[in-house]
Amino acid sequence: MTWTKTEYAGWGRALSAKGEVTRPERADMIAALAADGAAPAMGMRRSYGDAALNSEGRMIDMTRLDRLLSFDPKTGILEVEAGARIGDIAETFAPRGWLPAVMPGTGFATIGGCIGQDVHGKNHHHQGSFGQHVTEITLLQKGKELRVKPGSALFKATVGGLGQTGVILRAKIRMIPCKGDLVFVTERRACNWEEHLTLLDASEATYTVGWIDATATGPELGRGIVEEGESGAGLVKKRGKASKVPLDAPHFALAKPIVKAFNWAYFHRVPARGRTVVKALGDFFFPLDKIHDWNRLYGKRGFYQFQCVVPLGAAPALRQMLQEIAGSGLASPLAVLKRMGPGRGGYLSFPMEGYTLAIDFPNRPEARALIKRLEAMTSEAGGRLYFAKDGLATGAQIRAMYPDLPKWQREVKKADPDGALVTDLVRRLNLRTA
Amino acid sequence: MNSWIILGATSGMARPFLRKLAEQGNALFLAGRNQEELETLAADCRLRGAPAVQVMRFDARDHSNYADLIATFTAQGDVLNTAVFSGSMPDQEVIDANPALIEGVMADSYTGPATFLQMLVPHMEARSAGTILGVGSVAGDRGRLGNYVYGAAKAAFATYLSGLRNRAGRKGVHVITVKPGPVDTAMTQGMELPFMTTPEAVADDLMKAIEKRRNVVYTARIWQVVMTVIRLIPEPIFKKMSI
């Protein structure tokens, strides 16, 4: 394989790595890849922090192994190469009545990445996590292809396993029936924190998510828009071509008054009585994909995303976190609140039954300090941080949050005894050492 | 229904183009050397909407099965179309060390595809319809220090396509010459090249070129300007330049 010295970054662009990267394009290159020795793999690098980085080491870019291999309409099982993108699959199959059972917030995520982070979607409360709908994973492990099925310890260590059990080459995923490639979206205002949680708790829709105005304070703290979606069929204007962010934005692009004004407008866009609108599939599931490279809006210093989940009973702790965020004036417009179900597929899967809050912060010292405080509050609340987002946590915090870590370590040690698959995230959090 | 035969279908540049053809409901004949890879691409195209996909062996350096290939392809009752992606680009230094490689480079980019097209085009002319899309290269616009053997093969193909357009255009077959600059595929991996474009962007340009019946298309567009300038540089100056 040709290995090229490259500098590449996580989606947040606050963390980056320099190292050799190769990109296999045809299936017959896998043999050459195996001959070069083990290295971790990355997809579209939509993890915000350092999960897809390997400083001074090698990295395999899987994005060109992206073929759809087979589909069985009787079982809904689709086999794809690991570099296939979830949004591409959704756009291809939704008009025929099928959707991936679980889709994360960006359609650019690859299947390999969805498995490695055991991602969740707006239907987590019904369908659980991505890994729970995977029926087979083909790994490149110690130079050989290996098929892994649900039920085994290796499967549980691979789902949400951060790529440490081998390179995910292919996978079979179970699709679910849908009515078409539209979504009927009901949007309701939630005027404060209590109302927001009440709406989320009461929602029985297939897809539910809350946008939260993280700049609102006082009696309006926690206000936002709760969106409920149901798939449907019909004709709407197709999504136009994605626009691009051609330049790194100046640092004041997301300054406090601008964000406040944006959030005010975003909240009031939905009438007080609520409304139902019809959206193209991508507009509902992957709203930010419309703007290519939107991460450049945060300027060249990049940004961090903080995402935690806390148990249902710890909602007051989450409210306190939000208070801290709103008071700081550092929040960005992109903040999401969601109620999660208990579903999780692997030892290191993020989800737990409770509430999850995700929010972006520009990469500034005061924001990093705030994230540190939020992480400590998450720990205290018995919550958990998300490896797909994290860039600042410490190993000690993570150990307390992931009680199955020793089981994962045992499997990983067998799968990759020499530590050839270690990434920057695994190194930073010292995940593989007991 | 439209049918497309794609020579060099496993090329990294071809993939998004194949997918667009599949999504539009074209029947596809994927031709190339790597059977297993062709089967994988065929599965992908079927799942993306191609009503029929066949895999065929095409080797630019071995013309022995071209007649069979053409017989199978022309057995379709539809409008026949062809796209040529085949080609190879060994490093100029490798060729300098082993001039015997020139023959293969010529075969992959020119003599193989031209032989095939020469045999196929009467069938297309007989139906007075269809498009032939041939991928040349900006490297064919002027012989340059870095890759003049590859450039010569692509120049030969471009000249051939120009003549073919002149001939087949009279009978309702449209010929498009595509001149890509560097495209981000396995062929260019590890090279630092200017105005690199992606296979997806190339595919968009190709679909537009087919729809608008363009004759010569540069992709990325900037290369039309760049190559116009490069062609205008007087030879006494150009021969001293290393671009």
Indicate whether A272 and A226 sit together in one domain.
yes
Q: Which residue of A has its CA nearest to B189?
A: A2
**Domain membership flag for residue A52:** no
- How far are the Cα atoms of A49, A319, A372, B138, B214 from residue A400, in angstroms, in the given order? 20, 22, 16, 58, 63
Q: Closest to A28 (Cβ–Cβ): which among B36, B49, B190? A: B36
Please choose, from the candidates B58, B122, B103, B104, the residue with its C-alpha nearest in 3D space to the C-alpha of residue B84: B58
Indicate whether A190 and A338 sit together in one domain.
yes
A242–B contact, CB cutoff 8 A: no
Chain B residues contacting A, CB < 8 Å? 10, 12, 34, 36-37, 40-41, 43-44, 47-49, 185-186, 189-190
How confident is the model over B89-105, as a mean pLDDT?
96
Indicate whether A285 and A300 sit together in one domain.
yes
A28–B contact, CB cutoff 8 A: yes
Q: How far is A67 from chain B (nearest CA, A)?
A: 5
**Domain membership flag for residue A222:** yes
* Tokens matching residue A65: 């192994």
Domain count, chain A: 2
Q: Which residue of B has its CA nearest to A92?
A: B48
Could you report the per-residue pLDDT of B8-21, keeping only the tens digit for each?
999 999 999 999 99
Q: Do β-strands B131-135 and B79-84 pair in parallel, antiparallel, or remain unpaired?
A: parallel
CB contact under 8 A, A69 and B43: yes
Please choose, from the candidates B218, B215, B184, B216, the residue with its C-alpha nearest in 3D space to the C-alpha of residue B200: B184
pLDDT band at B208 (very low <50, low <70, confident <90, very high): very high
Q: Which residue of A has its CA nearest to B48?
A: A92
**Domain membership flag for residue A106:** yes
Indicate whether A318 and A374 sit together in one domain.
yes
pLDDT at A5: 94
CB contact under 8 A, B37 and A27: yes
Q: Closest to A4 (Cβ–Cβ): which among B12, B40, B190? A: B190
CB contact under 8 A, B43 and A67: yes
CB contact under 8 A, A2 and B190: yes
Q: Rounded to whole angstroms, how far apart are CA atoms A366 and A301?
A: 14
CB contact under 8 A, B189 and A22: yes
pLDDT at B5: 98
Q: How far is A161 from chain B (nearest CA, A)?
A: 28
Structural domain boundaries in chain B: 2-238
Q: Rounded to whole angstroms, how far apart are CA atoms A377 and A372?
A: 9
CB contact under 8 A, B186 and A27: no
A25–B contact, CB cutoff 8 A: yes
**Domain membership flag for residue A416:** no
Return the CATH number at A267: 3.40.462.20
**Domain membership flag for residue A311:** yes
Indicate whether A147 and A211 sit together in one domain.
no
Return the CATH number at A112: 3.30.465.10
* Tokens matching residue A179: 């009515």
Indicate whether A198 and A266 sit together in one domain.
yes
The DSSP string of B63-114 is GGGHHHHHHHHHTS-SEEEEEE-------HHHHHH-TTHHHHHHIIIIIHHH
Q: How many residues does chain B have?
A: 243
Asked which of A164, A179, A194 is the last residue of a domain, the reply is A179
Residue B72 has pLDDT above 90, yes or no: yes
Tens of pLDDT, residue by residue, chain A (434 residues): 999 999 999 999 999 999 999 999 999 999 999 999 999 999 999 999 999 999 989 999 999 999 999 999 999 999 999 999 999 999 999 999 999 999 999 999 999 999 999 999 999 999 999 999 999 999 999 999 999 999 999 999 999 999 999 999 999 999 999 999 999 999 999 999 999 999 999 999 999 999 999 999 999 999 999 999 999 998 887 766 778 888 888 877 778 888 899 999 999 999 999 999 999 999 999 999 988 888 888 888 999 999 999 999 999 999 999 999 999 989 888 799 999 999 999 999 999 999 999 999 999 999 999 999 999 999 999 999 999 999 999 999 999 999 999 999 999 999 999 999 999 999 999 999 97
Indicate whether A262 and A293 sit together in one domain.
yes
Indicate whether A198 and A340 sit together in one domain.
yes
pLDDT at A424: 98
H-state helical runs in A330-392: 365-380
Q: What is the CA angle A382-A386-A388, rounded to 5? A: 175
Q: Which residue of B has its CA nearest to A4?
A: B190
Q: How is domain B2-238 classified at the architecture level of CATH?
A: 3-Layer(aba) Sandwich (3.40)
pLDDT at A40: 98
CB contact under 8 A, B43 and A64: no
Indicate whether A198 and A342 sit together in one domain.
yes
CB contact under 8 A, B43 and A28: no
Q: Is B166 exposed, middle or buried (0-12, 13-18, 19+ CB in 10 A)?
A: exposed
Q: Which residue of A has its CA nearest to B39?
A: A69
Q: Which residue of A has its CA nearest to B190?
A: A4
Structural domain for A389, as ranges: 182-235+246-398
Indicate whether A252 and A297 sit together in one domain.
yes
The angle that helices A315-328 and A193-202 make with each other, rounded to 10 degrees, is: 130
pLDDT band at B189 (very low <50, low <70, confident <90, very high): confident
Chain B CB contacts of A242 under 8 Å are none
Which of B36, B37, B189 to probe by mutation at the A interface, max A CB count within 10 Å? Answer: B189
Chain A CB contacts of B185 under 8 Å are 25
Indicate whether A283 and A149 sit together in one domain.
no
Indicate whether A141 and A204 sit together in one domain.
no
